[in-house]
Amino acid sequence: MAVSANAIDHAKELFAPFGEIRVRKMFGGAGVYCDDLFFAIMDGEAIYLKVDEETRNAFEAQGLEPFVFEMKDGSSGVMNYYNAPEDIYDDEDELRRWTTLALDAASRAAKFKKKPVKKGAKKTARR
């Protein structure tokens, strides 16, 4: 589902206390970055926060659902993002709690994905 400019502005305002927020449209939705950490996705007006093995249980204990999408072959795919609790929109403590969980999960994922930089062969000038 398309993400409106108003929804993007709202997400930027909501998460601004946590760092530099950037929203990038992708695949009909949008990715939300905080200081270059990809920690949330948007689908229409809905916000989904990043989870991992350490944080998934907290989201599931609240009855929150994962982000599910339809793949080209008609099957469903599930991503490591869960619905943000409604409380984050009007309770600063809940916003801090859930956003911190998502940022921590995103940070762990970013550390896991980093690969060592390969040193390329030196190029020599042709004579």
Which tops the pLDDT comparison, 70 or 46?
46
Closest-CA residue to 31 (of 8, 14, 55, 10): 8
Domain architecture of the chain: domains with CATH? 5-113 (3.30.1460.30)
Answer positive or negative: Cα dihedral of 21, 113, 104, 29: positive
Q: What strands, in cross-sheet order, belong to the sheet with 76-83?
A: 21-26, 29-34, 37-43, 46-50, 76-83, 66-70
pLDDT in tens, 85-106: 999 999 999 999 999 999 999 9
State yes or no: pLDDT of 116 exceeds 70: no
Kindly report the pTM of this predicted structure. 0.84
Biggest CA pair distance of the chain = 69
C-beta separation of 50 from 106 below 8 A: yes
Identity (one letter) of the amino acid at 101? L
State yes or no: pLDDT of 117 exceeds 60: no
